[in-house]
């Protein structure tokens, strides 16, 4: 299937690892040009070694000024951004008894504002040009509460609403906004979730992994490439009528018609 992504400029936040990295690889395979943002220049350098010709920029996107500077720099040096994929930031997981207002706030900074701080300046540029796509990789934690992921789940839920609301607000200006909500996916972030769940349940991490895997209808977590395939389709011309949707991509782990 021709996705018409050749020579499109793609900005991926959190692109040095996990789902973001898998997205970068697939966009490059489709002939797109890719820019990656991450907090760690070391991780960006390693990603660049594996991916080849990509533009990289290290920044803390929880800082609004730094995020705006990234957008300005990438557009000036790399070209007008056609597609933004947000995959940066993850809230730390805690058992409920450990939570405090600062931890709830930290979760919003880590997940919600790392997305919003990039979306806000860029969606306005896209609207002025009359074209653009934003795909937010969010997570099913925003739909189904987990006892060890409450602040992060709240941030995810807020991103889902922002995704749908911005899609509606900017549809008439040629900008699409889509959410993709993975469930249990084989990335480095799995370890933190398993550690918190093991602590809450009084078991070891291997047992927590076995229980989580056994609960999945497909009997396994997703590979990052499987989520990336959905993201790339949503960003492509083949997904041109797809906007305002939050697509659950968890292998039927949370069956729901809502």
- Contact between 19 and 87 under an 8 Å Cβ cutoff? The reply is yes
Q: Which residues contact 74 (CB under 8 A, 6 or more apart)?
A: 11, 35, 37, 55, 57, 81
Average pLDDT, the chain: 93
- Contact between 231 and 3 under an 8 Å Cβ cutoff? The reply is no
- Asked, for residue 254, whether it belongs to a domain, the answer is no
Which tokens go with 188?
């480095």
Confidence of residue 144 (pLDDT cuts 50, 70, 90): confident
Candidate from 158-162, 180-184, 204-208, 243-247 with smallest mean pLDDT:
204-208
- Asked, for residue 64, whether it belongs to a domain, the answer is yes
- Asked, for residue 211, whether it belongs to a domain, the answer is no
- The per-residue pLDDT for range 11-54, each reduced to its tens digit, is 999 999 999 999 999 999 999 999 999 999 999 999 999 999 99
166 vs 22: CA distance, rounded Å: 26
Order of strands, sheet of 246-249, starting from the edge strand that comes earlier in the sequence:
55-58, 33-38, 9-13, 83-86, 132-137, 175-182, 246-249
- Asked, for residue 200, whether it belongs to a domain, the answer is no
Confidence of residue 258 (pLDDT cuts 50, 70, 90): low
- Asked, for residue 198, whether it belongs to a domain, the answer is no
3-state SS assignment for residue 176: strand
Closest Cα to residue 190, out of 202, 172, 171, 205? 205
Query: What's the predicted TM-score (pTM) here?
Result: 0.93
Domains: count for the chain: 1
- The per-residue pLDDT for range 72-108, each reduced to its tens digit, is 999 999 999 999 999 997 888 888 999 999 999 999 9
Tell me which residue has tokens 């490439």: 225
Question: What pLDDT does 217 receive?
Answer: 94
Question: What pLDDT does 31 receive?
Answer: 97
- Asked, for residue 193, whether it belongs to a domain, the answer is no
Q: Which domain holds residue 96?
A: 9-188+223-249
| pLDDT over 70 (residue 4) | yes
- Asked, for residue 51, whether it belongs to a domain, the answer is yes
Cα 155 from chain centre: 12
- Contact between 232 and 5 under an 8 Å Cβ cutoff? The reply is yes
Which tokens go with 138?
């969010």
- Asked, for residue 72, whether it belongs to a domain, the answer is yes
Q: What is the CATH number of the domain that holds 68?
A: 3.40.50.720
């Amino acid at each position: 299937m021709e996705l018409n992504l050749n020579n499109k400029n793609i900005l991926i936040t959190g692109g040095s690892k996990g789902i973001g990295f898998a997205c970068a690889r697939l966009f490059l395979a489709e002939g797109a040009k890719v820019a990656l943002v991450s907090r760690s220049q070391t991780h960006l350098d390693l990603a660049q070694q594996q991916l080849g010709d990509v533009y990289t920029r290290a920044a803390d996107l929880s800082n609004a000024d730094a995020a705006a500077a990234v957008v300005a720099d990438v557009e000036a040096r790399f070209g007008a951004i056609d597609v933004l994929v947000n995959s940066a930031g993850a809230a730390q997981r805690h058992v409920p008894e450990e939570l405090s207002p600062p931890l709830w706030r930290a979760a919003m900074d880590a997940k919600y504002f790392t997305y919003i701080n990039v979306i806000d300046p860029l969606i306005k540029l896209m609207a002025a040009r009359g074209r653009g796509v934003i795909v937010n990789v969010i997570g099913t934690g925003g739909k189904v509460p987990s006892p060890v992921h409450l602040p992060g789940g709240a941030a995810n839920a807020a991103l889902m609403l922002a995704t749908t609301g911005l899609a509606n607000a900017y549809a008439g200006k040629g900008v699409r906004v889509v959410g993709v909500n993975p469930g249990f996916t084989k990335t480095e972030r799995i370890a933190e979730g398993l550690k918190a769940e093991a602590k809450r349940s009084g078991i070891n991490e291997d047992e927590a992994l076995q229980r989580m895997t056994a609960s999945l209808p497909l009997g396994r977590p997703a590979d990052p490439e499987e989520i990336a395939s959905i993201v790339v389709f949503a960003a492509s011309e083949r997904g041109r009528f797809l906007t305002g949707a939050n697509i659950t991509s968890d292998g039927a782990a949370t069956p729901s018609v809502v």
